[in-house]
Amino acid sequence: MTVFVAACIQLRSGKDISENTARAEELIRAAAADGATFVQTPEMSNVLVRSREELAARIDVLERDPFVAMARRICAELGIFLHVGSVAVLLDGGKAANRAVLIAPGGAIVETYDKIHMFDVDLPGGESWRESSTYRPGEKVPVVDLPFGKLGMAICYDVRFPALFRAQARLGAEILTAPAAFTRQTGQAHWHVLQRARAIENGAYVISAAQGGRHEDERETFGHSLIVDPWGGVVAELDNDTPGHVVAEIDLGKVARARARIPAIANEREFDCRMTEAVRGEPA
């Protein structure tokens, strides 16, 4: 069975794309030096800015994004697979895409994924998010057959929608991903349990690089980049919100063993779900 080393890069992206790109490159090189051949960065690796107008003024189309250009160059140089957790890229019509990009060792873009589920919420304490006002949601969920295993792509809030990951697992995905910029508030409550749940219920590795700390636009993200094994064990964690990297050995034999012990995917059955209205009658 395939064994390889994966890495999560934890960032604290700000408004300056060139600064974010330079810091990420340093950390990617450090992860590769530690033996990683698959490296993942977090959601919104290129820029984090709350204002829709300011974001639109800073980003460009994917083909001209400086972060993606750096990622392609470093993959070609270091011979690694790089999963850019996501970048904000400009679309026609005034909106952006929250787009993950998977890059091969030669520097070619293998696959992209646009985040499907938009985080539209009002949180206690006055924090409010309306991703749908800025980003156009995607419609397709990929599974990529890589030399070392089958990988499913997702982003952040997607992790709360188990059907997405189950669909990937049914197609054979052995590695699931949820690179994120989780808010501190929701991260403290749910980050670890959601990552572990997706791993356990699908018998798959889950790799999730994260943003961490207080950003220029005043948001706070949780950090705690994680790699979880198919039995739900945390095999690597950057246990803070500071930029850095963490590596772990991925043994895809554990996927086969977990799915043999708990064959939840194989045992699934179709069923009907319906609402029943109770009828109140007079007692006999």
Strand partners, 70: none
Catalytic residue list contains 75: no
Catalytic residue list contains 95: no
Residue 157 token pair: 């809030």
Residue 78 token pair: 């270091």
Whether 234 and 240 have beta carbons less than 8 Å apart is answered as no
Question: Cβ of 272: how many Cβ atoms within 10 Å?
Answer: 4
Backbone dihedral region for residue 118 (phi beyond 0: left; psi -120 to 50: alpha; all else: beta): beta
- DSSP states of 7-32: EEEEB---S-HHHHHHHHHHHHHHHH
Q: Which of 43, 150, 174, 254 is flagged as catalytic? A: 43
Q: Which of 115, 150, 174, 254 is flagged as catalytic? A: 115
Q: How far is residue 47's CA from residue 211's CA, in Å, rounded to a whole number? A: 11
Q: How far is residue 208's CA from residue 180's CA, in Å, rounded to a whole number? A: 7
Question: Cβ of 160: how many Cβ atoms within 10 Å?
Answer: 15
DSSP H stretches of helix in the chain: 17-33, 52-58, 66-78, 162-170, 184-202, 253-261
Host H or E run for residue 247: strand 244-251
Place of tokens 């520097």: 107
Catalytic residue list contains 8: no
Q: Which of 8, 75, 150, 156 is flagged as catalytic? A: 156
Residue ranges with strand state E in 11-156: 38-40, 81-90, 96-103, 109-114, 120-122, 128-130, 143-146, 149-152
Q: Which residues are catalytic?
A: 43, 115, 156
